[in-house]
Amino acid sequence: MGDMKYELSDMDKIGITKTVKVLLFYELQTTIDPDRLITSLAEGVKNATSQLPFMAGNLEFNEYGKLCIVVPPGSQVKLNIRRFEPKEQRSLSALAQDSFSPDNMDFTEFLPEEPASPKQVCALQLSLVEGGLILGLLINHAAGDWSAIDTFVSLICQSCKAHREELKMPTYTLDLNRAPYNAPETGSTFSRQEHLEKLPMFYVMEKSQLKLKPPPTFRSSIYRISEPSIQQLKARCTPYLTEVAYITSYDCISALAWTSITRARLNLHPEKSSLPSRFVHPIDVRTRDPEKKTSERYFGNAVIGSQAGPTTAEALVSGSDRGLAAAATLIRQSINSTNLSTISHMTSLIKSLTPTETLGSQADFSEMDVFMNTWYSGNAKKYDIGGDLRPVAFRVPLSLPGACAVILPNFSSGATRVFEVLVQVEVEEHEMLRKDPEFLRYFEVVA
């Protein structure tokens, strides 16, 4: 039996340079046998791999230049086990005192090493510390986006739970129809300029012009915002909504983050008030497909960056309620304008590039632009590994060279929803945010 090959889409190819990393923290009681738990987790990984065998493969380009995942016979997702002695690593309770803050711990110790070659799709590490277990995962973005990662991680956890409780292993029916995520075979009927008009965040540039700025020093913090606060934000915005029919909790949280970070920047640099400010966020098009060409069970990279704005930094922070409503409106409009056809414009545009060209981004996250993402669809129940062992925290090491925020999975319990948001900004901007009354009116500092 030879290698299995899974050809990926043109959209998948865009993600090959990025690796997504996540960590799940579990508290282990003294009554739990860690070795038996590790055995069950290994069985969970084995079952998840049997459902999604491409996760155990390597990324390669075939003879036609198409990106593929190649899976040799008998391949399994690489699973590393690391046991920390008390002198090597703090206990879980000590890590929890800092709310597992990215700035107060070294996440790399809990993540598998990223191999240079072959380009591995996925790897896992189980780390044992005093009183706890950390599940660290890395996955190449070409193989999947957040929705795919959520599916894979929850399948591992639910399979582990089934093994521990002697239940039937869960199965998963996935959709691998990649046609909607490829550039049109016959070529696009749009010109390059028309594609760019549909993708205002991007422009075509020569690769020789690509220059990286030296990154500044960043600070990451975790904040919490509850449903009552979000309803207050909605109530402030609603009287001024004229261009959209509604706004969501996500729109409100994002608008508050965008306006607050911009205000912090202007407090430091008032001379930049006339600069454009953009809000960039990835949109999952699985559910934005009225013609049903794809499905929510599609496993791959189905997200595309969308831009709200630009508007001037000064306009964004002025007008109090009107300004907040304007930001939320721009965010909702950017979501409403994104669908599967946006993917087609992107893949067609990339296909039109010459070997010396690449896509550049209009956004500059070290100036007035902000990047935001949401992983709120993850929850503690999905990641339950049996015996009421639900995770106590979900963390991601941020790698974007600029201002960004991530809404973390929902681990709140009870009737009131609570959102945890990880915010990364430059050190001076962080200090300004911690003094901003409008920001702190709604965001509670966690760590």
Q: Which CATH number belongs to the domain containing residue 24 in this structure?
A: 3.30.559.10
Q: Is residue 174 part of a domain?
A: yes
46-55 pLDDT tens trace: 999 999 999 9
Same structural domain for residues 155 and 214?
Answer: no
- How far is residue 408's CA from residue 395's CA, in Å, rounded to a whole number? 8
- The amino acid present at 214, given as its one-letter code, is P
Q: Is residue 41 part of a domain?
A: yes
Global pTM reads 0.94
Q: How confident is the model at residue 447 (pLDDT cuts 50, 70, 90)?
A: confident
Q: Is residue 116 part of a domain?
A: yes
Q: How confident is the model at residue 212 (pLDDT cuts 50, 70, 90)?
A: confident
Nearest to 188 by CA among 355, 9, 351, 354: 351
List the beta strands (DSSP E) in 313-436. 357-361, 370-374, 393-395, 404-407, 418-426
Last residue of some domain: 116, 147, 179?
Answer: 179
Name the residue range of residue 438's domain: 197-378+400-445
Same structural domain for residues 170 and 206?
Answer: no
- Chain position carrying tokens 């590490």: 125
Residues 6+ apart with CB under 8 A from 115: 123
Same structural domain for residues 78 and 214?
Answer: no
Q: Is residue 357 part of a domain?
A: yes
Last residue of some domain: 135, 153, 179?
Answer: 179
When mean pLDDT is compared across 12-16, 60-64, 94-98, 341-345, the lowest value belongs to 60-64
- How far is residue 236's CA from residue 252's CA, in Å, rounded to a whole number? 10
Same structural domain for residues 175 and 212?
Answer: no
Q: Is residue 389 part of a domain?
A: no
- For 358, other C-beta atoms within 10 Å of its C-beta total 15
Same structural domain for residues 225 and 300?
Answer: yes
Same structural domain for residues 137 and 225?
Answer: no
Same structural domain for residues 136 and 214?
Answer: no
Model pLDDT, residue 213:
76
Same structural domain for residues 59 and 202?
Answer: no
Q: Please count the structural domains in the chain.
A: 2
Quick check: 57 and 121 in contact, CB under 8 A? yes
172-183 pLDDT tens trace: 999 999 999 999
Burial per residue of 91-128, b for 16 or more beta-carbon CB atoms within 10 angstroms, e otherwise: ebeebbeebbbbeebebeebbbeeeeeebbbbbbbbbb
- Which is higher by pLDDT, 213 or 225? 225
When mean pLDDT is compared across 196-205, 293-302, 362-371, 411-420, the lowest value belongs to 411-420
- For 267, other C-beta atoms within 10 Å of its C-beta total 16
Judge residue 266's burial from the number of C-beta atoms within 10 Å of its C-beta, 0-12 exposed, 13-18 middle, 19 or more buried.
Answer: buried
DSSP secondary-structure letter at 410?
B
Model pLDDT, residue 187:
64
Mean pLDDT of the chain: 93
Same structural domain for residues 153 and 217?
Answer: no
239-274 pLDDT tens trace: 999 899 999 999 999 999 999 999 999 999 999 999
* Residue 206: strand pairing partners: 357
395-440 pLDDT tens trace: 998 877 789 999 999 898 878 889 999 999 999 999 999 999 999 9
Q: Is residue 338 part of a domain?
A: yes
- Chain position carrying tokens 């493969």: 57
